[in-house]
Amino acid sequence: MGMNVGSSGGDDEVVSTINTTPLVDVMLVLLIIFLITVPVVTQSVKLSLPKETNVPRETKPENIELSVTKDGEVYWNTQLVSDNEALVDRLKKVAVLNPQPAVHIRGDDKSRYESVGRVMFACQRAGIMKFSFVMQPPERGG
């Protein structure tokens, strides 16, 4: 009985290929771990979120247009309102009407949030139940 130990002759060749079996094993283990943990992480509080609808604005004569310029000036339709208290006083007068008119706030895209926020707060102080923002839709294809 004979046994061959080692290579026969001078065939000391260097193996130049990469053994990818350990790499594939590690990647499969990581894939399994991610598949198990992702459903646990993505659970959240169940909510019924509002659905956005793009409804054309109904312009009625009794609706109030409040425009806020980039300088913070407020216009009631086309008439300049001197200060915030004058705006609240005018809004209080129309807040008691039945049905209450809707207020449409048009803010310049370069106006500060603070200016638009003051108009919103004035509507809230006056008791206006419904106010909305008028926006220009984006251009198609751009």
Residues 82, 138: Cα–Cα separation, whole Å: 32
**Alpha-carbon dihedral 28, 30, 32, 36, rounded to 10 degrees:** -170
Residue 61 has pLDDT above 70, yes or no: no
Query: What digits encode the pLDDT tens for the residues 9-52?
Result: 556 777 778 888 889 999 999 999 988 887 766 666 665 665 65
Tokens 């109904």, residue? 58
Instruction: Please tell me the pTM assigned to this model.
Output: 0.57
CATH of domain 64-133: 3.30.420.270
Bond before 99 cis per omega within 30 degrees = yes
Report pLDDT digits (tens) over 83-121.
Answer: 999 999 999 999 998 888 888 888 888 888 899 899 999
What pLDDT does 58 receive?
66
